Structure 1
Amino acid sequence: MALAHNEAPTSQEGTTAPAYCAQPPVTEPILRPDLSPDRLSAIILSRTKWVNGTVLRYCLLNESDGASAEQLDEVRKAFQDWKDIGIGLEFREVDRPSESEIRIGFRQGDGSWSYVGRDALGISTRERTMNFGWDLTSPHGKATARHEIGHALGFAHEHQNPFAGIEWDDEKVYVTLASPPNNWPREQTFHNILRKLSISEVEGSDWDPESIMEYPFPPGLILRPEKYHREGIPDPLLISEKDRTYIKRWYPPMEDKLAELHPFQSVELDLAAGEQSDFAIVPSETRMYEIGTLGDSDVVIVLFEEVDGELRYFTGEDDSGEDTNARLKVRLFEGRRYVLRTRLYSAWGPGQAALMLW
């Protein structure tokens, strides 16, 4: 998203172009073609988001990439900026890539980019899920760090919001982005700029040109709205107020005390699409247990085990788009504490969704 340098080269059309975040292709869920539009939209909107309360571990892969201490600190500060909003996610730096969900490289010449949200889970632990290809200590670089972490939290480019109403000078955009410093082929420009997100991929109807997930654009690339044709879009250097509101919608502060889920007692999941319920499980005996949902719903359930005061991922299941219920079969140990988090995509049947341990 952010600029590589204080000055940018001039394209063949005389338009200056900053270096942009080159987001990797987002995985598309394979869903049944007969799903209702509301059910489909709810699944697509939520599928890249983490369950709230997740501890996201990140590893800075600076050994081979030669990142400076200042660069590494800027990434740490960027994570802290997102956390300071008051969200329910936690961030932990770890030394081993195999223990991380987010693996951050600093490979020059490979641009700046990040996989979106839970898409990172499908990437080998030997590979990066995020890269910074330019200096992060300038104002533009600091914004880049916050932008890429926004992707890692599950958010897309703001200028691709279908409600933005942007009309592009397509050929001028292609020519400008084909020039240094981006040197993008047409398909990369289309994927990162011209392609509009599906309405099912965004929430609400507002476009936020001040969002940290927005690109800065020079004058001339946008035909309409006229204001942005004349002035372009300034470089968003900070997490905007709308960014703060939106991320707390998905990751609100966590409650200190959780209700306990007891065997053979079903608990109603009185949730709207995208909302989440959390329960503690403290087994009274060591044995095999099953945990599952009841009713017509699409959910993701994730079980964590408390280890040395910190929640560690144990197992999970996503039943979205299926007519079956999420089900976990796990061996739980007496006296240990587990936390079950359940995020609802949609409730599509006549009854209420519920959760049960047995």
Structure 2
Amino acid sequence: MTQRYCSLPQQPAPSFAPGLAAERSSALVAGRRMWVNGTVLHYCFFDADTDGSVIHVPGSGETRWVSWAGAKEQRDVVRECFRQWQDLGIGVTFAEVTDHREAELRIGFQYGDGSWSQVGRDALVVGLNERTMNLGWDLTRPGQRATALHEIGHALGMQHEHQSPLAGIHWDDEAVYADLAGPPNFWNRDRTFFNILRKLDASEVNGSVWDPQSIMAYPFEAGLVLEPEQYRGGLHSPGTLSPADKEFVLRWYPPADPPSVADRFDRGDPHRALVPFRSVPLSLGPGGQADFTVDPPETRDYAVGTFGDGDSVVVAFEERDGEPRYLAGQDDGGTPHNAVLRVRLVKGRRYFVRVRLYSTWGTGETAVMCW
């Protein structure tokens, strides 16, 4: 084997309350890692002399300290790949920053640690001095640009396509374990199972059908896939964004065109002002999102929360230098209570509140209010 593979950080499976309706739990599994649309994802590259960590050298039992910094040529490949995703017209945008404390996505180039990324909003639970993505081999070599496109797909919330239960792949399990145990991956059985053999929940997959051309699919050499028969000789993805990749990401992050001022206060327009102590109904279907502006009349601590029988994620942003910066967020999915943010808002500054609905039950009536 010569193929290097992305190795995702293992995260615990989501735990929801017993007796949760199947439709509700499926909506939570599908959307729990996705960003609210309109988010600006700031990314940075670790480049200080002290940025690095100790790794285990495969096959030797030794350890050594390895830098996280990458050469300009490596960083330029990643910048180009961010632009390629951005050029699809998605509603999430990317902005490079130099201070890792300002970045949701923090990127290292540590050789020996493989390539991986946190999936979507999982990046928010990683310490500010730690990486959320690593690119562990030379991206300037032929075909390796696909690695950066793949990891950015994970950062947007996408999963491995070859793990889709819709693929119908029947593996030669022991052949897969043996191949991944050797160079250049040196994976143990747990890592191989988690990243290749494990089937995703049907709600987690990137589309309604299997897409072997996806940037999120691994290429596999002959002898690893038993069924479908046509892939016994190998499965080879082209390393580019497929039409289904583009459809999926645009479905979750449609272009976020700003509304006109005349429409902003229309009850039927999701982009409108959120005024303290005035409840606003959320006329949303599953997966829908409403966006609000908040111009605080005074400087103080505020609460922003939802009401009603619904699972939602609520995120507040502060406008800085003409773009929204993440301030606070809360996800009440699968719980009996509603999301409530407590944030300090300053008079004269503008804020944004974005509410994405997973699902509703009971009366289905939901609302948001600032107080």
How far did 1:246 drift?
0.3
- Go from structure 1 to structure 2 and tell me whether the alpha carbon gap of 1:263 and 1:67 turns closer, same or farther (over 3 Å shift): closer
How far apart, CA to CA, are the structure 1 residues paired with 2:130 and 2:302?
Answer: 35
How far apart, CA to CA, are the structure 2 residues paired with 1:43 and 1:109?
Answer: 35
CA distances 1:145-179 after superposition (whole Å, capped 9, x unpaired): 00011111111100001111111111111111112
How far did 1:283 drift?
2.3
- Asked whether the equivalents of residues 161 and 205 of structure 2 are also in contact (C-alpha less than 8 Å), the reply is no
Helix, strand or coil: the match of 2:230?
A: helix
Do structure 1's residue 155 and structure 2's residue 158 form an aligned pair?
yes
How far did 1:17 drift?
4.3
How far did 1:312 drift?
1.3
Do structure 1's residue 45 and structure 2's residue 58 form an aligned pair?
no
- Asked whether the equivalents of residues 17 and 177 of structure 1 are also in contact (C-alpha less than 8 Å), the reply is no
How far did 1:66 drift?
4.5
Counterpart in the other structure of 1:211: 214
How far apart, CA to CA, are the structure 1 residues paired with 2:98 and 2:87?
Answer: 23
Counterpart in the other structure of 1:54: 39
How far did 1:86 drift?
0.5
Q: Which moved more, 1:257-266 or 1:190-199?
A: 257-266
Do structure 1's residue 355 and structure 2's residue 368 form an aligned pair?
yes
**Aligned mate of 2:299, from 283, 286, 289:** 286
Counterpart in the other structure of 2:237: 235
CA distances 1:43-73 after superposition (whole Å, capped 9, x unpaired): 1111111111111111111344442211110
Task: Give, as a single letter, the amino acid of the residue that structure 2 aligns with 1:185.
Answer: N
How far apart, CA to CA, are the structure 2 residues paired with 1:133 and 1:271?
Answer: 42
Q: CA RMSD in A?
A: 1.6
Counterpart in the other structure of 2:250: 248
Helix, strand or coil: the match of 2:29?
A: helix
- Go from structure 1 to structure 2 and tell me whether the alpha carbon gap of 1:352 and 1:133 turns closer, same or farther (over 3 Å shift): same
Q: Structure 1 unaligned segments of length 5 or more: list them.
A: 1-15
Counterpart in the other structure of 1:12: none
- Go from structure 1 to structure 2 and tell me whether the alpha carbon gap of 1:17 and 1:225 turns closer, same or farther (over 3 Å shift): farther
Helix, strand or coil: the match of 2:121?
A: helix
Do structure 1's residue 321 and structure 2's residue 334 form an aligned pair?
yes
How far apart, CA to CA, are the structure 1 residues paired with 2:12 and 2:323?
Answer: 30
**Aligned mate of 1:182, from 181, 185, 199:** 185
CA distances 1:172-198 after superposition (whole Å, capped 9, x unpaired): 111111121111111111111000001
How far apart, CA to CA, are the structure 1 residues paired with 2:75 and 2:134?
Answer: 12
Counterpart in the other structure of 1:67: 70
Task: Give, as a single letter, the amino acid of the residue that structure 2 aligns with 1:294.
Answer: F
Helix, strand or coil: the match of 1:138?
A: coil
Helix, strand or coil: the match of 2:177?
A: helix
Alignment map for 1:87-126 (pairs within 5 Å):
87-126=90-129
- Asked whether the equivalents of residues 26 and 116 of structure 1 are also in contact (C-alpha less than 8 Å), the reply is no
Task: Give, as a single letter, the amino acid of the residue that structure 2 aligns with 1:77.
Answer: E
Tell me the percent identity.
55
How far apart, CA to CA, are the structure 2 residues paired with 1:66 and 1:118?
Answer: 24
How far apart, CA to CA, are the structure 2 residues paired with 1:165 and 1:185?
Answer: 24
Aligned length: 342
TM-score by length of 2: 0.88
- Asked whether the equivalents of residues 159 and 206 of structure 2 are also in contact (C-alpha less than 8 Å), the reply is no
How far apart, CA to CA, are the structure 2 residues paired with 1:19 and 1:173?
Answer: 13
Counterpart in the other structure of 1:133: 136
Counterpart in the other structure of 1:25: 10
Counterpart in the other structure of 2:147: 144
How far apart, CA to CA, are the structure 2 residues paired with 1:141 and 1:320?
Answer: 37
Structure with more contact order per residue of length (Cα contacts < 8 Å, sep ≥ 6)? 1
How far did 1:131 drift?
0.7
How far did 1:203 drift?
5.6
Do structure 1's residue 170 and structure 2's residue 181 form an aligned pair?
no
- Asked whether the equivalents of residues 307 and 338 of structure 2 are also in contact (C-alpha less than 8 Å), the reply is yes
**Aligned mate of 2:312, from 288, 299, 316:** 299
CA distances 1:15-59 after superposition (whole Å, capped 9, x unpaired): x44111111113423321221111111111111111111111111
- Asked whether the equivalents of residues 45 and 203 of structure 1 are also in contact (C-alpha less than 8 Å), the reply is no
How far apart, CA to CA, are the structure 2 residues paired with 1:339 and 1:268?
Answer: 17
How far did 1:335 drift?
2.8
How far apart, CA to CA, are the structure 2 residues paired with 1:52 and 1:274?
Answer: 11
**Aligned mate of 1:197, from 197, 200, 222:** 200
How far apart, CA to CA, are the structure 2 residues paired with 1:332 and 1:183?
Answer: 50
Q: Structure 2 unaligned segments of length 5 or more: list them.
A: 49-66, 260-270
CA distances 1:253-278 after superposition (whole Å, capped 9, x unpaired): 11212321223332222222222110
Helix, strand or coil: the match of 2:318?
A: strand
